[in-house]
Structure 1
Amino acid sequence: MTSFMIRVPASSANIGPGFDSLGLAVNLYLTLEVTKQDKWEFISPSFAPGTPFEEHFIYKIAKQVADQHGKTLSPCLVKETTSVPLARGLGSSAAAIIAGIEIADQLGELKLTSEEKLGYATAIEGHPDNVAPALLGGLIVSTYVDNEVDWLKISDLDLELVAYIPKVELKTEAARNVLPEQYLNHDAALASGISNLTIAALLQGNYGLAGKMMEKDLFHEPYRKSLIPNYDLIKRQAKEHGAYGSVISGAGPTMVSFVPNGKSEHLVQQFKDVLPDYQVIPLKMDADGLKVEQI
């Protein structure tokens, strides 16, 4: 294709106790319009004019994948638009990784399978919890063992989300640094049980129990909550207004509430005055993941 569009959804990972293994694609998007031309050029809201194209993160990913197949990428004009906020815990880097892999696939005519794309993305990201839903859509339960990704997609969820996005950024590295290097055997077993029950409840549509378990995470939220503005306030007031449960999105600082279908707008209205400096928005699950279209 000489001109094509790539669209990749944002994602919310961990979802409480699903640490590094549970992620949900949501309807915020990174979109690229790619057109072949005689030189590389990126038009991007996060990329200063005059910056060498080689420094663009998406180009680096595309070249890395192409190099592994011995391919040279044809130069292109890449126009980027996005509704995915950067460094807010909504998978902006994962979306960019998937977009870069797809550019390599299209320009290099690699004919990569979804499993191969997921393998590349997970190796780059280090874990599949964001890249898997960004690629595949839905709610993805995944694991990365012995350099192999195994996953299960849950695409039938009768619920909506509300995202509370503050103006401040939080780098994943900073959020990782507050986590313990080891967990006591008793704590790890309990945390694992909570995670297992969360997923089982989601599969059965028992969202009340799922929300209750989400809020009992022991893997990361107890250590990160001090980094998250209004953590306790959001959880308390969201529950008062009908949310099943609220969790840190990825590493934060965004939080998300899981709410009954059709109730997200009500919750958004309740928080307009409570969090005037936040972007509080309703979200839905994206069931499709990566989309590529000729334009």
Structure 2
Amino acid sequence: MCLKSPATSANLGAGFDCLGLALDFYNETIIKRNNFFKISIKGEGEDNPYLKKHNLFITIFNETYIKLTGKKDLFSFNFINNIPLSRGLGSSSSIIVGAIASAYYLAGLEVNKDTILNNALIYENHPDNISPAALGGFVCSVVDKDNVKYIKTDISSDVKAVVCIPNKQISTNVSRSALPKHLSLADTSFNISRSSLTTAAFMSKNYEMLKIASFDKLHENRRMKTVPELFKVRELARKNGALMSNLSGSGSTFFNLCYKDDANKLKTILENNFPNMKVLELNFNNQGIIIS
């Protein structure tokens, strides 16, 4: 079987731990039944021997497969990793969701995405990345009584993503340590209103409203201090066609959404101004994980 699991961008400004979307940018995994265990990695992590001995995908796959079948069968795993590690593009969520979906498929069971999401909570207790990784599109999700509850909508082909990926990795746990312990009533009200408006903008496909909605007073500026250049990325992107320009997850990637006709121009401007960053122009993924 062949699995494609998408990159994601979460938070999207004020939607802390609840808003996310899927990008047309994937890790691919080919799994075959085999007489012995075999693993190969190409792309991200291929030079890291630790990932062959302690591979999160294989750990979750085996745990899920044994739970479903009661057997420990042997497989070969061929990983083609495109999603950068620890850059705020949901690499861990892509792995978690993909491993669970693959185990269900190879166990001969229906790959039900609600079931996959709820199983993914064992490994990731925030739904903002695992939901769009499984479902695709734009997703607003919460955890209620150990279940992911969500509303999803497709993203129009009229808009595209332009992402800036710095060389610097940022650990989510370290990034969270920069968050405030208390928020003022004014900042709390600001974030609730912007998160609500961001959700409404995506649901109604009124993307122009994102120019107003996609701001945050909780986490972005605090996290961006570790890569100060990101403040310039945001300023320049918003001046050159970005409808929204936000830290992707906990960073260090910066996510920009613009109309498709403005995407190439924005990509060129960001490449010229930030030559030390990798800039990608991407479509959105409305399917989530794909198994064939």
Give the TM-score category using the shorter length: over 0.9
Query: 2:67 matched to 1:63?
Result: no
Query: 2:132 matched to 1:98?
Result: no
- 2:175 corresponds in structure 1 to 175
Out of 23, 28, 33, the position equivalent to 1:26 is 23
- 2:110 corresponds in structure 1 to 111
Change (3 A) 1:103 1:201: closer
- 1:228 corresponds in structure 2 to 227
Query: 2:127 matched to 1:128?
Result: yes
Change (3 A) 1:243 1:51: closer
Tell me the SS of whatever aligns to 1:263. Answer: helix
Tell me the SS of whatever aligns to 2:122. Answer: helix
- 1:40 corresponds in structure 2 to 37
User: Identity, % of aligned pairs?
Assistant: 27
Q: TM-score normalised to the size of structure 2?
A: 0.92
User: Which letter does structure 2 place at the counterpart of 1:16?
Assistant: G
- 1:208 corresponds in structure 2 to 208
CA distance in 1: counterparts of 2:240 and 2:187, whole angstroms: 31
User: Which letter does structure 1 place at the counterpart of 2:20?
Assistant: G
Deviation for aligned residue 1:83 = 1.5
User: Which letter does structure 2 place at the counterpart of 1:283?
Assistant: L
Deviation for aligned residue 1:235 = 1.4
CA distance in 1: counterparts of 2:237 and 2:60, whole angstroms: 38
Tell me the SS of whatever aligns to 1:262. Answer: helix
Comparing 98-107 and 167-176, the one that deviates more: 98-107
- 2:291 corresponds in structure 1 to 292
CA contact (8 A) 1:73 1:108 kept: no
Tell me the SS of whatever aligns to 1:19. Answer: coil
Change (3 A) 1:178 1:288: same
User: Which letter does structure 2 place at the counterpart of 1:62?
Assistant: F
User: Which letter does structure 1 place at the counterpart of 2:27?
Assistant: L
Tell me the SS of whatever aligns to 1:169. Answer: coil
CA contact (8 A) 2:270 2:279 kept: yes
Tell me the SS of whatever aligns to 1:63. Answer: helix
CA distance in 2: counterparts of 1:235 and 1:71, whole angstroms: 50
Query: 2:252 matched to 1:256?
Result: no
CA distance in 2: counterparts of 1:204 and 1:166, whole angstroms: 32
CA distance in 1: counterparts of 2:196 and 2:217, whole angstroms: 13
CA distance in 1: counterparts of 2:229 and 2:48, whole angstroms: 36
Deviation for aligned residue 1:102 = 2.0
Tell me the SS of whatever aligns to 1:272. Answer: helix
- 1:189 corresponds in structure 2 to 189
CA distance in 1: counterparts of 2:127 and 2:87, whole angstroms: 18
Deviation for aligned residue 1:134 = 0.9
Change (3 A) 1:201 1:186: same
CA contact (8 A) 2:68 2:104 kept: no
Change (3 A) 1:280 1:49: closer
CA distance in 2: counterparts of 1:5 and 1:168, whole angstroms: 31
- 2:78 corresponds in structure 1 to 79
User: Which letter does structure 2 place at the counterpart of 1:169?
Assistant: Q
CA distance in 2: counterparts of 1:51 and 1:193, whole angstroms: 44
Comparing 64-73 and 77-86, the one that deviates more: 64-73
- 1:9 corresponds in structure 2 to 6
Q: TM-score normalised to the size of structure 1?
A: 0.92
CA distance in 2: counterparts of 1:50 and 1:227, whole angstroms: 28
RMSD (CA atoms): 1.9
- 1:162 corresponds in structure 2 to 162
Tell me the SS of whatever aligns to 1:222. Answer: helix
CA contact (8 A) 1:105 1:111 kept: yes
Tell me the SS of whatever aligns to 1:129. Answer: helix
Change (3 A) 1:29 1:60: same
Change (3 A) 1:267 1:66: same
